[in-house]
Structure 1
Amino acid sequence: MRDDFDYDDDLDYSFDDEEEDDDFGMTFEEDLYLMIREKLRDTIQEFKAEYPALKKLEAHVTSFKVNAKNTDDSKFYPLAAKLLLEHIKPLTQDSEEILEIYENMQTDIGRFKNQRAHGHEGEFYLTA
């Protein structure tokens, strides 16, 4: 009786590292949102001593909460990013630095619609 399972033919142990995602099941939207939050957090930490207005931005970002129950990732994370942007928009009048961060975040948020778009990379909105 022949074994139907042939290790050489039935198992493919080749792993394409370029195709593997390290996000452990995260959706593109979740990954992008977390990247935006990380870039925002890192930028605030890096520059808040030099630009005091960023302390106010930090307080605003820390107080930001989204409550959208029963929403799937493809809708929740773009909504959360948009609401975060709207949440910090009033602070853009306080500081040129916050305005620059706001505009740079918009570039990344645009990637929700066009996943192939190149996100913002720059000095005052740090690359993750």
Structure 2
Amino acid sequence: MREDFDYDDDFASNDFDDEEEDDDFGMTFEEDLYLMIREKLRDTIQQFKGKYPAAMKKLESAVSSFKVNVKNTDDAKFYPLAAKLLSEHIKPLAQEYEEVQEIYDNMQSDITRFKNQRAHGFEGDLYLSE
């Protein structure tokens, strides 16, 4: 059960030598997928801050201020809900910025994987996979 997820705390340091090392160890599919979505957002923001400063600054602010507090919920329900709420949280920016709209649309393909684990997630320019 996960009651709080704080973007800054969980992604503040990325000093892993081997990111693949502990990928699935002790993590549910839902938690792993949610963390991957958050990581893709973080990497995309960092990669494109210089190219789209206004859009990425607002997106970064929205993502870093996003918090979920759901009590008594197991991972299978918490992480899909958190992903959906994060998506809804950034949707207003998608209407304001074309780049955020593309990120939002691409993020939806990863969110569908909560229901269909065999679905392919999105890997592309404005939603990074690495």
For the aligned pair, the TM-score class normalised by the smaller chain equals 0.7 to 0.9
Q: 1:91 to 1:71 in 2, by over 3 A?
A: same
Q: Which residue of 1 aligns with 2:101?
A: 99
Aligned match of 1:86: 88
- Residue 99 of structure 1: SS of its match in structure 2? helix
What does residue 78 of structure 2 align with?
Answer: 76
Larger-Rg structure: 1
Q: In the alignment, which residue of structure 2 is the partner of 1:121?
A: 123
Question: Comparing both chains, which one has the higher relative contact order based on Cα–Cα distances under 8 Å and sequence gaps of 6 or more?
Answer: 2
Between the aligned partners of 2:71 and 2:25, the Cα distance in structure 1 is 23
Cα offset, 1:44, TM superposition: 0.3
TM-score, length basis structure 2: 0.80
Per-residue deviation, residues 63-115 of structure 1 (Å, max 9, x unmatched):
00000011000000000000000000000122110000000000000000000
Q: Distance in 1 between matches of 2:48 and 2:64?
A: 16
Deviation at 1:59, TM superposition (A): 0.3
Amino acid at match of 2:101: L
Identity of aligned residues (%): 79
Are the equivalent residues in 1 in contact too, given 2:23–2:32 (CA < 8 A)?
no
Deviates more, 1:56-65 or 1:22-31: 22-31
- Structure 2's unaligned 5+ residue stretches are 1-21
| 1:1-128 alignment, distance < 5 Å | 22-52=23-53, 53-128=55-130
Alignment: residue pair count = 108
Partner Cα separation in structure 2 for residue 100 and residue 76 of structure 1: 25
CA distance in 2 between partners of 1:103 and 1:31 (Å): 20
CA–CA separation in structure 2 for the residues paired with 1:95 and 1:85: 15
SS of alignment partner, residue 40 of structure 1: helix
Structure (1/2) with the larger strand percentage: 2
Unaligned runs of 5+ in 1: 1-20
Mapped partners of 1:106, 1:91: distance in 2: 15
